[in-house]
Each structure stands twice: as C-alpha cells, then as structure tokens.
C-alpha cells in the first residue's frame, strides 16, 4: 500500500516535463539550439521582424549565456503564464500589438535577478518567438503578473 501511495504521489513530478505546454517547449528548444551554437537553428524559432532587430549570432550567444548562468535549461524555471496570472493592462497591450492571434507568454529565469518574458504566436506551421523583454524581478512583479 505504501509503495502504491508513493508512486501516486510522485507521478505528477514525473509527468510534469511530459505535460509542459507547446510554447514552453518552443522556448526550451530555442535555448537548446543556442547551447550547441547553431545560429541557423536558433533563427528558425524567431520571426523575421525579430531577427532584423536581433541578429541570430547575437541571440545565440545571449541565450547560451543565459543557460550557462542557470547551469542548464531545466534550472531556468520555464513557465507559460496563463491570462489569469497576467495583469489586465499587460494583456491589453499584447492583444493590441498582436491582435487576437493565438499568443502565449513564457517566462524564463536567466539569473538570480532577472527573467526574460517571451511572447510567442502561433504561425501557420509552428509557434514563433516574436518578442522578448529582459527585466528585473521587481519590474516583472509590477508590470506583468497579478
């Protein structure tokens, strides 16, 4: 009986990685591509507009540095933020900028003082990273989450 209870209690932790949203997987995959320093692969995860402002080589270096600072992607605490977790003003801003498209917000901890808030939209064939905002925890708590 104790073994069954232990298995039941541990199951959510085992399945947590399997049940992560697609948007989190996209951000995780982009960070993995950065670790192996594949600029072309990193660029595939981003919109053309974003790449015009942030060259793939710089993105690769910056993202790989974030992973190294956290000692791995698993330690970056990637999480998709649901609308109920976001401030109404932030939701309005994102909807105004991207319309009523299927957009998602994923947050990644990059070091002990900062996070990166990723905006992802659903394209025709895949999810695309369209924006990122690096910010302090204080700003994140004040402007983004409830």
pLDDT of residue 123: 82
User: Contact 108/54 with Cβ under 8 angstroms?
Assistant: no
pLDDT of residue 101: 65
Alpha-carbon dihedral angle through residues 19, 90, 68, 50, given to the nearest 10 degrees: 100
Condensed to tens digits (0 to 9), the pLDDT of residues 63-78 reads 999 999 999 999 999 9
CA distances from 131 to 25, 120, 125 (A): 16, 7, 18
E strands, the chain, are 79-81, 103-109, 114-122, 127-136
Condensed to tens digits (0 to 9), the pLDDT of residues 38-52 reads 999 999 999 999 999
Residues lower than pLDDT 70 in the chain: 1-20, 101
In order of their start, the domains of the chain are 22-144 (3.10.450)
């Amino acid at each position: 009986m104790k073994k069954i209870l232990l298995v039941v209690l541990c199951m959510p932790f085992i399945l947590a990685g399997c049940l992560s949203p697609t948007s989190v997987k996209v951000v995780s995959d982009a960070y993995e591509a950065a670790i192996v320093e594949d600029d072309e692969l990193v660029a595939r995860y981003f919109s053309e507009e974003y790449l015009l402002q942030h060259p793939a080589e710089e993105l690769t270096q910056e993202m790989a540095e974030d992973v190294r600072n956290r000692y791995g992607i698993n330690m970056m605490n990637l999480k998709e933020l649901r609308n109920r977790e976001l401030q109404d003003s932030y939701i309005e801003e994102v909807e105004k900028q991207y319309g009523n498209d299927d957009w998602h917000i994923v947050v990644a901890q990059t070091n002990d003082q900062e996070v990166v808030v990723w905006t992802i939209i659903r394209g025709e064939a895949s999810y695309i990273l369209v924006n990122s905002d690096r910010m302090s925890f204080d700003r994140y708590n004040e402007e983004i989450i409830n």
